[in-house]
Structure 1
Amino acid sequence: MATRNKVLTTGFFRDRALDFRTRVVLGAAVHGASEPGAVLATVGRVEAQHAWYREWCATADATERAAVAAREAGHPVSARGGFLRAATYWACALGGVDAFREKHTEAILLPTFRRHRACWDAFIDCSGGAHERVNVRYEDTTLPGYLLRPDDSGRPRPTLVVTNGSDGALSDLWSGAGVAAALERDWNAFVYDGPGQQSMLFERGIGFRPDWEAVLTPVLDALLSRTDVDADRLAGYGLSQAGFWLPRALAFEHRLRAAVIDPGVVDVSTPWMAQLGARLTAQLDGGDREAFERGLRLATRIPALGRTLKFRARPYRHDSWFDLFTTVRTYRLLAADGARVRTPLLITDPEGEEFWPGQSRRLAGLVREAELAGFTAAEGADRHCEPLGRLVVEQRVFDWLDDRLAR
């Protein structure tokens, strides 16, 4: 008798981070941002944490070279698809840099990011004018943004404004946050790096901030100055940690007609605090900085925990563990903030949410108008941000958005 294939339940890797990254890059294939065969061939060569970076660099480099050759030979469609996949693969490599010692990590991080961003920009440039760079004025600098459109006609269209999570690349949003799906439905989509995200972190050293209204407002100002954006049909999408940032911003910024929160996040610190035992938590609560620092230094000698915390800590820009955890605990949506949100929300609630379980329902209870959208393992759309069920998610999300914007 044949045995059941359990890869989706037992995982591609025992390491949870590698397993999740594999699901994300495999799911990106649904809109051409990866190739299933290339993904499975690459992860099949990964025998340890350190090999993840090496093997994804090899796949990314080969894919980029093929895209360059297609562009030089006058094949823009092939080049465009190749550069998009290469951008995805370089982003996968970037997710593995913290497997190395800190000095080596810092030496390879920025060059790897630049290879990724160069491929993303080449993808934009191969769009025949449909996609454009848009710099957003932000305080004393600018945020790099991209308006992706179905064509270059300049016709005003409904526009999906996508806010990324804590560590995802812009190429992840193509399949993972409704960008390609928006273009298929004759919408525009706008993506950008906010403070602490991607180029803002790696090239400018600008870290996260909790008050995302200071970010979303200038983004909307920039979009509403354009004639190819329909001012009456703006919607938002907040992915992963933006499940906190976007609702927080919407407590103060009311120009979006509707927003999708995938998933809901009320307290960003929950997975951080789950890493601490009772003693460390008590030291943090009690303000015992010295004991907390000593305890974290010992705890982070555990390789998996050390990698996770080092990776997650970078955008908060703190040298002290005590200050880092204290800051992360301020990333909370208060009841008063939720009460100020006027924008109707569709909040995804996937089965098996790893990072913020139960918080989608909590967020729905804080705001005036919210609808929960559950996604299950039976339909292949479970886990954080539903990486392997994007078509299922997109159907429900865009049907809901279309209905909302038609009112």
Structure 2
Amino acid sequence: MAPTLSDPTALTWAWRAASAAYSRALSAVDGLPAERAEAVLLPTFRAGRRCWDAMIAGSGGRHLPIEIAYEDTTLPGYLLRPDASGRARPTLVITNGSDGALTSMWAAAGAGALERDWNALVYDGPGQQSMLFERGVPFRPDWEAVLTPVVDMLVARPDVDASRLTAYGISQAGYWLPRALVFEHRFVAAVADPGVVDVSASWLRHLPSPMIELLDSGQKDVFNGYMAEVDADPATARTFAFRARPYGITDPFDLFTAVRGYQLRDLADRIRTPLLITDPDGEQFWPGQSAQLAELLTAPHEVARFTAADGADVHCQPLAPGLTQARMFSWLDDQASFLGP
């Protein structure tokens, strides 16, 4: 029998599923030539966000929209709670990657937190979702400027146990979260899925060594000349546009130079927060960097291997969310339990 509108559980699922469907459509649009993409990109994003907001509004007060003070504006956030009692709970702050939707954060960790009687906080940071599509605010490497205001907001709330704050960073947030932890020390523990020491590695591996030499030597015009030839291929041009958009930089030389600044080599040893680092077989974007991050750390840490034999290989273990969350939440709970009841 089909669910009726009087079934709140079915409604929650339906709104979330609709939002996820629009997000998948958005990924098919983003990166198209501007004259084709712009007409449908923002309306598609907004349709998906309206569905998400309808889910939040229909939650009976369990889930709350929150505006997070950030510089001279705000970041949109959502506090997901198991119920509307307002009881203080452990809270997981989920930081998104470069192009995921809120529904992907729900699936990756938000639902798992709720099942364990935790809160979860999801938000759009600079260059992510509404901050990109509606406000045109690009990525930034210094994510402590983003995450510290999030923590400031949470610790002031009576429904958040400020002594049991934890954090999870997925995909490119495997860089952003550890970067923020260099400066932000109020988390009991954190998870980087996977560990990312140098974001630019996923960009530079597509360049031949002579092109990297042009970057190193500052030969901007020559570099851009070669990139113009590469962009003559429509598929390559689309991929480049998709990856470049959230950085807010159109000049290829300037973009590659900026991305090279997203690295932790000189900072990771200053992290104090215990860190779990996932390390799947077949990592496509940052292979070997989870181990590299572990080697740089002086804080307590553990590398969680995920294997093809377990069906848990490749970037962020997409076919094994249950296994990922089982290991992640068990480890986070162990860290938080040191504080006592």
The verdict on a shared fold, with TM-score over 0.5 as the criterion, is: yes
Q: What does 1:288-303 align with in structure 2 at a 5 Å threshold?
A: 288-303=219-234
Question: What does residue 198 of structure 2 align with?
Answer: 267
**CA shift for structure 1 position 233:** 0.4
Corresponding residue for residue 77 of structure 2: 145
Note the residue ranges of structure 2 that are not aligned, 5 or more in a row: none
Residue deviations 1:3-36, cap 9 Å, x none?
xxxxxxxxxxxxxxxxxxxxxxxxxxxxxxxxxx
**Does the 8 Å CA contact 2:194/2:316 hold for their aligned counterparts?**
yes
TM-score of the pair, normalised by structure 1? 0.81
Q: Normalising by the residue count of structure 2, what TM-score does the alignment of the two structures yield?
A: 0.96
Q: Is the 8 A contact 1:77 1:126 kept in 2?
A: no
Name the SS for the 2:310 alignment partner. Answer: coil
> Is this contact kept in 1: 2:31–2:241, CA < 8 A?
no
Contact kept in structure 1, 2:90 and 2:161, CA below 8 Å: yes
- Which of 258, 261, 265 pairs up with 1:327? 258
Q: Letter of the 1:105 partner, please give it.
A: A
CA RMSD of aligned residues (A): 1.3
Does the CA-based 8 Å contact 1:88-1:116 persist in structure 2?
yes
- For residue 347 of structure 1, give the secondary structure of its aligned residue in structure 2: strand
Aligned pair in 2 of structure 1 residues 218, 99: CA closer, same or farther (>3 Å)? closer
- 1:357 is aligned to 2:270: no
Letter in 2 for 1:257: V
Quick one: distance in 2 between partners of 1:91 and 1:97? 10
Counterpart secondary structure, 1:395: helix
Q: Is contact 2:93–2:122 with CA below 8 Å preserved after alignment? A: yes
| TM-fit CA distance, 1:278 | 2.0
Matched, 1:136 2:136: no
- Pairing 1:81–2:13 present: yes
Whole-Å Cα distance in 1 between the matches of residues 183 and 246 of structure 2?
24
Whether 1:237 and 2:175 are equivalent positions in the alignment is no
Q: Give, in whole Å, the separation in 2 of the partners of 1:106 and 1:291.
A: 30
Q: Are the aligned partners of 2:277 and 2:301 in contact in 1 as well (CA < 8 Å)? A: yes
Kept after mapping to 1: 8 A contact 2:31/2:240: no
**1:95 partnered with 2:27:** yes
Deviation at 1:99, TM superposition (A): 5.9
CA distance in 2, matches of 1:218, 1:152: 24
Q: Is 1:194 matched with 2:122?
A: no
- Return the alpha-carbon distance in structure 2 between the equivalents of residues 286 and 99 of structure 1: 30
Aligned to 1:163: 95
Report the CA distance between 1:302 and its aligned residue: 2.6
- On the 8 A contact 2:32/2:241 being kept in 1, the answer is no
What is the Cα deviation at residue 334 of structure 1? 2.5
Unaligned 5+ segments in structure 1 are 1-65
Quick one: distance in 2 between partners of 1:393 and 1:274? 28
SS of the residue corresponding to residue 307 of structure 1 reads helix
SS at match of 2:227: helix
Given that 2:33 and 2:238 are in contact with CA atoms closer than 8 Å, whether structure 1 keeps it comes out as no
Is 2:139 aligned against 1:221?
no
- Between 1 and 2, higher relative CO (CA 8 Å, sep ≥ 6) is seen in 2
State the aligned residue count: 336
Tell me the distance in 1 between the aligned counterparts of 2:263 and 2:76.
26
CA distance in 2, matches of 1:111, 1:278: 41
Structure number with the higher helix fraction is: 1
Aligned to 1:374: 305
Shift of 1:98: 3.9
